């Protein structure tokens, strides 16, 4: 078995879930779904020794070889970390959801979507071919859309799903364009090959656009400012989904993308500032706004955004090392990337646990509103313990893994601010300050999650159900995540040496692997970072105690001016504007559409005539005009003009007859006897038809149009006629080759007919004639049907009279 098939297994399992659901009977379908990520986790874990030894594994299945698109699975440290997170947290979430979702829910859909998502996510992290990566990327968007709207009868679920889909898909398209640009530059779809040749293309005009577009994709997916707005709304999803997608996996896809493309774009000032700057601002902005939330899931959503910003910022800081290339001094800056990878894992563990805890609280007492909760500690001691572990880890307190990564984050921020590239000498000092302030808010909301929920007065009258511990099965997953949080604090180097160091080698290919990575110590002496943490705790506690005095500051950020409001406004306006625009020209009046058509005819054909200078008059080759022809032309001219002024329809129809018969006379003069015959007969029949119809139709009235409209129509008709005649003249005077009609003069030898025209119709080009007969037949049937078959407007069938 190769990794390619491992990626496909969730899809296969998703395909059989609906069939299995009926067979299993009383057994919860989730138990089957649980087997998939569990098995994959064990399978992927078996790669750890190889990866730790510095190997990478690659396997290619050909998909569209003619376009150089292959399904290539590439396992290195970075993709393995994500792969283990996806399958590991996936298994825990499946287990948790077995107890969380009631059997009355549409479980087969839930697990189908979940497995679909899992497979897509594995595809994203293991794909080496960017086109395949993009396919899986969109699949994650679609499956997460389905999961968010799992309770589709709720309006807010549908809205949240729509919003997340619109934002992530827009970013995904931008990313696709960026990928295509990368291909245009390097001629390769393989990320490894792109990395190896990109140094020759950094001056390419497409380099910067490709960077910006790929970053746009990463930022939208990872909910970076200002695209973070979809994530809080996605909290309408069932809590296992929030825990899985919106903390551990999908939002890490953008982070993964940034990490994966750091060797491509890293070392550029714009990349550094965009990733670091956006990350830092997101970190601060979301932490600040998390504090004002009253819904625990919303609070966690903002905290996720904030933590993602922190990871993003660390990847940005780490990319500075690529600016120098390898040297003993530059290695120190790679520590930021190491910290980012470490925090990536840490965040997945504690955030997954926190979401599950909130889910338990919601499940047991029926509310997530912080104002209605309190004093749950004596009822739910185990839940409380996990919540405390998760929150304290998020706040960056020992003895939890969040402490380690936060200290490393501060180290990186302090180191980078002393650099002298990228105008860091002027702006560098901002980085640690923002990082510190944001951490204070992180501490604050982490404390709120624990203390507002589990301490304070117990308000039973506000709860739907009395509080008690949940079933044991529900606690297994969060307990295991909680244990991981603590375990990672005590044995961080186990993770660091086996996975993070190989991942670093992928991000910094030019650096020797032995020099990458950091030994993590829980105790690193009394240094600036430690004092910063002390400061956070002191200031954070102070803010927590005085919360009700300064809460008013949030009034300064009214909902009306938020990005959410901007998004809704823009969406609403786009609908209204496009509707107005469509309504303004789609009037439903046939005449208007005809005016458009004629207008474009004049503009395009007339324009082309003038532009190409094809206007060309010459009368030298003309045949001479006899007096007969002068007279008939004059008659037709007068008849045509008179139709416009005809007061009654009878005059008009007779004038039309005059035109038809004059043409018949022309046919005689031009030596076309068959035409003349047909024209006379047809004109007669047509005239009769007109007269018959007119008998039933009302008398034609004067057209009551406004002067301007009439003028416009006159102008259009004159222009159309002029252009028509001009083209005809130009074409007539610019003959390119002789006619082929001499061939048909052999009609007697070839077809046995002396009448050339009839030979053409019946012999040389008989197919036309046959179909023309069909046209006549259809018209006859049509006329008959129109007149004979009269279905009433309702069910009533009116008989012909």
Partner 1 sequence: METLIIILTGVLVSVATYLILSKSVIRVILGTAILSHAAHLLIITMGGLKTGGVPILDNGHDTFTDALPQALILTSIVISFAVTAILLVLALRTYQELGTDNLEKLRGFYDE
C-alpha 85/C-alpha 41 separation (Å) is 9
Q: Measured from the CB atom, is 615 or 731 closer to partner 1?
A: 731
CB 155, min distance to partner 1, A: 21
CB 746, min distance to partner 1, A: 9
Q: Measured from the CB atom, is 166 or 595 closer to partner 1?
A: 595
Q: Measured from the CB atom, is 553 or 715 closer to partner 1?
A: 715
Size of the chain in residues: 801
DSSP state of 201: G
Q: Measured from the CB atom, is 570 or 718 closer to partner 1?
A: 718
State both tokens at 384.
């409380």
- If you search the block for the tokens 């030898």, which residue do you land on? 749
Q: Cis ω on the peptide bond leading into residue 226 (within 30° of 0)?
A: yes
The residues that bridge with 64 in the sheet, in sequence order, are 69
Assess contact for 372 and 463: CB atoms under 8 A.
yes
CB 2, min distance to partner 1, A: 53
CB 612, min distance to partner 1, A: 19
C-alpha 726/C-alpha 189 separation (Å) is 53
CB 649, min distance to partner 1, A: 6
CB 162, min distance to partner 1, A: 21
Q: Measured from the CB atom, is 155 or 671 closer to partner 1?
A: 671
State both tokens at 740.
């082929």
- If you search the block for the tokens 């990186």, which residue do you land on? 412
C-alpha 558/C-alpha 555 separation (Å) is 6
Q: Measured from the CB atom, is 106 or 578 closer to partner 1?
A: 578
- If you search the block for the tokens 């117990």, which residue do you land on? 458
C-alpha 772/C-alpha 781 separation (Å) is 14
- If you search the block for the tokens 């500051």, which residue do you land on? 553
Q: Measured from the CB atom, is 530 or 640 closer to partner 1?
A: 640
Q: Measured from the CB atom, is 22 or 793 closer to partner 1?
A: 793
Phi, psi (degrees; rounded to nearest 5) at 700: -80, 135
Q: Measured from the CB atom, is 523 or 696 closer to partner 1?
A: 696
CB 585, min distance to partner 1, A: 15
Half-sphere exposure of 544 (CA within 13 A, CB side): 19
Q: Measured from the CB atom, is 556 or 589 closer to partner 1?
A: 589
In sequence order, which ranges of 234-380 are alpha helices (DSSP H)?
Answer: 239-243, 250-265, 269-290, 296-318, 321-324, 331-365
CB 582, min distance to partner 1, A: 13
Q: Measured from the CB atom, is 551 or 765 closer to partner 1?
A: 765
Helix (H) or strand (E) holding 742: none
Q: If you write DSSP's letter for every residue of 591-621 in order, what string do you get?
A: HHHHHHHHHHHIIIIIHHHHHHT------TT
Q: How buried is 53 (Cβ within 10 angstroms: 0-12 exposed, 13-18 middle, 19+ buried)?
A: exposed
Cα dihedral 643→648→654→658 (10° resolution): -20
Tally of CB atoms within 10 A around 21: 19
CB 581, min distance to partner 1, A: 17
Q: What is the three-class DSSP state of 190? A: strand
Q: If you write DSSP's letter for every residue of 477-534 in order, what string do you get?
A: HHHHHHHHHHHHHH-HHHHIIIIIHHHHHHHSTTS-GGGSS----S---S-HHHHHHH
Q: Measured from the CB atom, is 399 or 606 closer to partner 1?
A: 606
CB 635, min distance to partner 1, A: 10
Assess contact for 279 and 266: CB atoms under 8 A.
no
CB 610, min distance to partner 1, A: 17
Q: Measured from the CB atom, is 526 or 617 closer to partner 1?
A: 617
Tally of CB atoms within 10 A around 587: 10
CB 759, min distance to partner 1, A: 8
CB 708, min distance to partner 1, A: 14
CB 608, min distance to partner 1, A: 18
Q: Measured from the CB atom, is 514 or 787 closer to partner 1?
A: 787
| Residue 517, Ramachandran bin (φ over 0: left; ψ between -120 and 50: alpha; else beta) | left
- Helix crossing, 296-318 with 331-365: angle to 10°? 170
- The candidate with the shortest Cα–Cα distance to 441, out of 228, 283, 564, is 283
Q: Measured from the CB atom, is 550 or 786 closer to partner 1?
A: 786
Q: Measured from the CB atom, is 196 or 769 closer to partner 1?
A: 769
- Helix crossing, 29-45 with 77-100: angle to 10°? 160
CB 707, min distance to partner 1, A: 15
C-alpha 168/C-alpha 730 separation (Å) is 55
CB 574, min distance to partner 1, A: 19
């Amino acid at each position: 078995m190769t990794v390619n098939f491992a990626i496909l297994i969730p899809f296969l399992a998703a395909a059989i879930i609906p069939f299995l659901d009926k067979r299993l009977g009383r057994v919860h379908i989730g138990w089957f779904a649980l087997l998939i990520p569990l098995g994959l986790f064990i399978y992927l874990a078996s790669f750890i020794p190889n990866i730790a030894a510095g190997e990478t594994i690659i396997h290619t299945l050909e998909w569209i070889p003619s376009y150089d698109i292959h399904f290539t699975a590439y396992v290195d440290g970075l993709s393995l970390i994500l792969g283990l997170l996806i399958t590991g947290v996936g298994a825990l979430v499946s287990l948790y959801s077995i107890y969380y979702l009631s059997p009355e829910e549409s479980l087969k859909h839930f697990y189908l979507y979940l497995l679909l998502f899992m497979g897509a996510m594995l595809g994203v992290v293991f794909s080496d071919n960017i086109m395949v990566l993009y396919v899986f990327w969109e699949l994650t968007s679609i499956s997460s859309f389905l999961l968010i709207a799992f309770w589709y009868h709720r309006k807010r679920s549908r809205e949240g799903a729509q919003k997340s889909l619109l934002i992530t898909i827009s970013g995904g398209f931008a990313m696709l364009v960026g990928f295509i640009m990368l291909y245009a530059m390097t001629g390769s779809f393989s990320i490894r090959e792109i990395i190896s040749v990109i140094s020759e293309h950094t001056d390419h005009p497409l380099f910067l656009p490709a960077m910006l577009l790929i970053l746009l994709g990463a930022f939208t997916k990872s909910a970076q400012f200002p695209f973070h707005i979809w994530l809080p709304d996605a909290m309408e999803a069932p809590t296992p989904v929030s825990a899985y997608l919106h903390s551990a996996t999908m939002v890490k896809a953008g982070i993964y993308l940034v990490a994966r493309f750091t060797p491509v774009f890293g070392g550029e000032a714009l990349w550094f500032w965009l990733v670091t700057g956006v990350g830092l601002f997101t970190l601060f902005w979301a932490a600040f706004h998390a504090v004002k939330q009253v819904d625990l899931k919303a609070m966690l959503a903002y905290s996720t955004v904030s933590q993602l910003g922190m990871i993003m910022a660390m990847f940005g800081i780490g990319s500075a090392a690529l600016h120098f290339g390898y040297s003993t001094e530059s290695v120190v800056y790679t520590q930021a990337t190491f910290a980012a990878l470490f925090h990536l894992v840490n965040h997945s563990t504690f955030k997954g646990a926190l979401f599950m805890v909130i889910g338990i609280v919601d499940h047991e007492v029926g509310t997530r509103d912080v104002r209605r909760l309190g004093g749950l500690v004596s009822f739910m001691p185990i839940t409380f313990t996990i919540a405390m572990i998760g929150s304290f880890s998020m706040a960056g307190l020992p003895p939890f893994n969040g402490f380690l990564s936060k200290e490393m984050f501060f180290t990186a921020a302090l180191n980078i601010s002393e650099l002298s590239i990228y105008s860091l000498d002027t702006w560098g000092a901002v980085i640690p300050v923002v990082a510190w302030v944001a951490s204070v808010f992180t501490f604050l909301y982490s404390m709120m999650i624990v203390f507002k929920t589990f301490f304070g007065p117990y308000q039973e009258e506000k709860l739907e159900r009395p509080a008690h511990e949940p079933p044991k099965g529900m606690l297994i997953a969060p307990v295991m995540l909680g244990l991981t949080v603590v375990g990672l604090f005590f044995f961080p180097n186990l993770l660091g040496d086996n996975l993070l160091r190989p991942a670093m080698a992928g991000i910094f290919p030019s650096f020797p692997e032995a020099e990458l990575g950091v030994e993590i110590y829980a105790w690193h002496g009394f240094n600036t970072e430690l004092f910063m943490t002390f400061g956070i705790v002191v200031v954070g506690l102070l803010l927590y105690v005085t919360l009700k005095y300064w809460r008013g500051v949030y009034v300064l950020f009214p909902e009306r001016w938020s990005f959410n409001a901007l998004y809704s406004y823009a969406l609403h306006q786009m609908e209204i504007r496009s509707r107005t625009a469509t309504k303004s020209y789609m009037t439903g009046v046939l005449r208007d559409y005809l005016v458009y058509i004629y207008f474009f005819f004049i503009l395009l054909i007339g324009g082309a005539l003038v532009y190409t200078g094809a206007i060309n008059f010459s009368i030298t080759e003309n045949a001479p005009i006899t007096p007969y022809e002068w007279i008939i032309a004059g008659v037709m001219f007068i008849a045509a003009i008179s139709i416009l002024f005809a007061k009654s329809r009878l005059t008009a129809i007779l004038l039309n007859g005059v035109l038809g018969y004059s043409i018949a006379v022309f046919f005689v003069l031009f030596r076309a006897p068959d035409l003349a015959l047909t024209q006379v007969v047809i004109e007669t029949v047509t005239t009769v038809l007109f007269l018959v119809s007119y008998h039933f139709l009302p008398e034609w009235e004067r057209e009551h149009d406004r002067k301007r409209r009439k003028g416009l129509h006159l102008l259009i008709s004159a222009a159309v006629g002029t252009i028509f005649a001009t083209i005809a003249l130009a074409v007539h005077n610019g003959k390119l080759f002789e006619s082929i009609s001499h061939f048909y003069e052999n009609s007697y030898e070839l077809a046995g007919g002396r009448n050339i025209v009839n030979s053409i119709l019946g012999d040389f080009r008989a197919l036309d004639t046959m179909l023309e007969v069909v046209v006549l037949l259809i018209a006859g049937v049509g006329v008959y049907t129109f007149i004979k078959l009269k279905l009433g407007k309702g069910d009533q069938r009116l008989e012909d009279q």
